[in-house]
Amino acid sequence: MDLISIPSVNPAFCSDDALNGEERVAEMLAQHGAKLGLDFKYQLVKGKRSNLVLKYKPCSRPCHRLLLAPHMDTVVADEAQLNPHIKQGRIYGRGACDTKGSIAAMMNALARISASPDRPRNTEIHLACLVDEEYGQLGSRAFSKRNKPYDLAIVGEPTSNKIVTAHKGAMWFHLQTRGLAAHGARPSLGNNAIHSMASAVQFLEQDYREQLNRRRHPLLGPATINVGTISGGKQPNIVPDACSISADRRTLPGESNAAIAREILAALRKKGIKASLDYRRDAECPAMETQSDLPWIQKLMALSRQKKPLGVDYFCDAAFIAQNGTPCIVFGPGSIDQAHTADEWISIRSLEHCVEKYLQFFRSLP
């Protein structure tokens, strides 16, 4: 409840200093961790924004390392969403499931195992509370570059306490067509860029989507395409000389933004459509997949009585943490169906269940 009442809206979505930034949440967690005897440090990411890393140190020489990685930032929040309340076994408020519920469950389990006689003897556990997951993933990108690989990372997201070993990537791109302006009374003298774009959109939403449906991943299903915005023309009596769209292409493991861009442009050329495509080359958001037969993942699945791992269609920090060689899974209380909603909530039962799963897993570690 306290975590929800402390605003931590991602600065990309809010300019109000009283609401944006993760530093207030990080300070509260650091103080709580210190009371529990956990070491902590801040990892500067950008400006005033820092990841917070809390450490459980075993009594013997550490031979293994486990990473817990939730994020502290949220999407936009109003006053009501920052005043959490409980109703019918649910905690309501911004960030309740995405992902302050994960932070609370991880911290609670870490506090309890630290005081337990059957705590891990040779495994160091790090709780890295990350910034900027909801926008540019600056926190996980920085953390991955500055840390050595872990034996396993558990990235906190609302998975209904199910173990997820794969998630899709995301590529946002802009497509532009060019034409020739002319008087609206003489359209034959111009070249209508909107007409060209209409053909491009029809291809993306029909033929290209059908192609993607035939490429299926065993856990993630097909890649997807969605044309989200369109803009073109200046006024009705001018033949438009430019039109642009923005689209969301969800990717599968092994796909790259550059290859996707080449594929789309080549297909459009075959249909006689001239267009240019642009995307951010410095911020690729790749898909992630971890082999589920790794011993610690198998152990956690057995404790959870889960026979097969799952995949999710959203993107999260796991992809960047995995880039330094750390095997990653996504796991946490609450459902993604409630994330970002006006009445975001998480059930108390889900939180309690998650804590117990963490404790069982921690006790099984060397």
Distances (CA, A) of 365 to 39, 103, 156, 360: 20, 21, 19, 9
Task: Give yes or no: residues 294 and 267 share one domain.
Answer: no
Task: Give yes or no: residues 68 and 143 share one domain.
Answer: yes
The whole-angstrom separation of Cα 133 and Cα 271 is 38
The whole-angstrom separation of Cα 150 and Cα 325 is 8
Domain boundary, last residue among 259, 279, 299: 279
Task: Give yes or no: residues 232 and 354 share one domain.
Answer: no
Domain boundary, last residue among 279, 298, 323: 279
Task: Give yes or no: residues 350 and 257 share one domain.
Answer: no
Distances (CA, A) of 191 to 179, 180, 183: 5, 5, 11
pLDDT value of position 59: 86
Task: Give yes or no: residues 11 and 44 share one domain.
Answer: yes
Q: How far apart are the first and last CA of the chain?
A: 33
User: What stretch of H or E contains 85?
Assistant: strand 85-87
Q: What is the pTM of this model?
A: 0.93
Task: Give yes or no: residues 242 and 335 share one domain.
Answer: no
The whole-angstrom separation of Cα 60 and Cα 331 is 28
Task: Give yes or no: residues 238 and 138 share one domain.
Answer: no
Task: Give yes or no: residues 244 and 155 share one domain.
Answer: no
Distance of CA 158 to the CA centre of its chain: 11
Task: Give yes or no: residues 187 and 160 share one domain.
Answer: no
Domain boundary, last residue among 257, 279, 301: 279
Task: Give yes or no: residues 77 and 134 share one domain.
Answer: yes
Q: Domain range spanning residue 87?
A: 2-167+287-364
Vertex 9: Cα angle to 282 and 135 (nearest 5): 15
Task: Give yes or no: residues 235 and 313 share one domain.
Answer: no
Residue 88 identity (one-letter amino acid): Q
Total domains in the fold of the chain = 2
CATH code of the domain in which 44 resides: 3.40.630.10
CATH code of the domain in which 187 resides: 3.30.70.360
pLDDT value of position 134: 96
Task: Give yes or no: residues 71 and 180 share one domain.
Answer: no
Counting as low any pLDDT under 50, the low residues of the chain are: none
pLDDT value of position 1: 83
